[in-house]
Structure formats: C-alpha cells, structure tokens
Amino acid sequence: MIEAIINGVTAGAIGVFGVLIGGILTYRLGLKAEKSLIRTKIRIEKIQQTQHSLLEAARDFGKLHLKLSEYEYEKIDHKSYCEISDETQDRFTKTIRSIRVNEVIIKDYGEQIEQLFDDYSVLCNMQYDRYYNPNNNKRRYSDEELTFEIIDSKFQAFIMSVIRIQKSLDLEIEKELK
C-alpha cells in the first residue's frame, strides 16, 4: 500500500513537473515569437514613415519644379517663386529630420539617402545662384552650369532618386513580411 501511495505521489509529481516545464517552455517560446513580431512591426512602420516622407518630398519638389518652369517662362514673378522655394526647403528640412530618426532601421539605404541629401543641397545651391539671388558675387557655379536645362534635369533626377529609394523600401517591406 505504501508502495502504491509512493507511486501515485511520484506520478503526480512527475505530471506537475512536466506541466511546469511545458508551461515555462511555451511561455518562453511565445515571448520570443512575440518579440520577433513586435520588432517586425516596428521595422515596417519605420520604413513606411520613411517612404511617406520621401513621397512628400517628391511631391513638394515636383511642385517646385513646376513653379521653376513657370518662373523661367515668366508666368509667375520672382517673389512668388522665392516663396514656394523657401516653403519647399523648409518642408524638406523637416523631412530630413524625420528620415534621420529612422536611420537605425533603414541603415542599408544610408548611402542612397545621403546621396539624395547631397543632390538636394546641390539643387538648392543651383537654384539660389540662378534664380533666387542671380547677382551674388559668391556663386558656386558658372553660367554654363546654371542653365535651365541643367537645373531641370537635376530636378528630374532628384525626383527619380526619391522614387527609386521608395521602391527599394517597398521591397524591404516585402522581405519583412515573408
């Protein structure tokens, strides 16, 4: 009889011990999976925020490009052009900050984004030298470099670069979802 009691207690203890170990393992595996899902969710959200910022920048620069053409062909005055240029540059400065916040997540695209920021700087300087303050003695570019056609092509290249980066980020999201 004592042997039956010992066997019963032992079987019960082994059962409880097995349930405890199973519960702990399930908890740890569930926690690990949950952490992985949260990381993926945050990564996708940050990529989408960056995409949104880039597309807003492309839209703003598309509008500025249109205003540049209108100014070149004398459809708007200098003041109107300068106002839209200043507004666009202010918004893009905010865009740069919002993208910089997400650099940890999009570090694989750091080189492309830095090139985009460099292109932006060149584009702004060219606009400034040709349109904003054409009589400046400290110009960064020669008259041959400041033709409407060259600046126009820089605008188009800038917008296309934004779109290329945005599409690359789309592929990154697809990879995250697989």
Tens digit of each residue's pLDDT (9 = 90 or more) over 54-80:
999 999 999 999 999 999 999 999 999
Q: How many C-alpha atoms does 136 have within 13 Å on its Cβ side?
A: 16
The H-assigned helical ranges of the chain are 2-72, 78-101, 110-127, 148-177
Range of the domain at 70: 41-177
Q: How many C-alpha atoms does 137 have within 13 Å on its Cβ side?
A: 0
The pTM of the whole model exceeds 0.85: no
Q: Is residue 20 part of a domain?
A: no
Whose CA is closest to 156, among 82, 90, 64? 64
Q: How many domains would you assign to the chain? A: 1
Q: What does pLDDT average to over the chain?
A: 86
Q: Is residue 150 part of a domain?
A: yes
DSSP string, 68-97: HHHHHTTSS-HHHHHHHHHHHHHHHHHHHH
Tokens 């100014």 label which residue?
Answer: 71
**Mean pLDDT, range 35-46, rounded to an integer:** 87
Q: Is residue 36 part of a domain?
A: no
Q: Is residue 162 part of a domain?
A: yes
Q: Quickly count: other Cβ atoms within 10 Å of residue 108's Cβ.
A: 10
Q: What is the pLDDT of residues 80-137, one digit of tens each?
A: 999 999 999 999 999 989 998 888 888 888 899 999 999 999 999 999 999 888 887 7
Q: Is residue 11 part of a domain?
A: no
Show the tokens assigned to 140. Answer: 């960064």
Tell me the CA end-to-end span of the chain in Å, nearest whole number: 59
60 contacts 96 by C-beta, under 8 angstroms: no
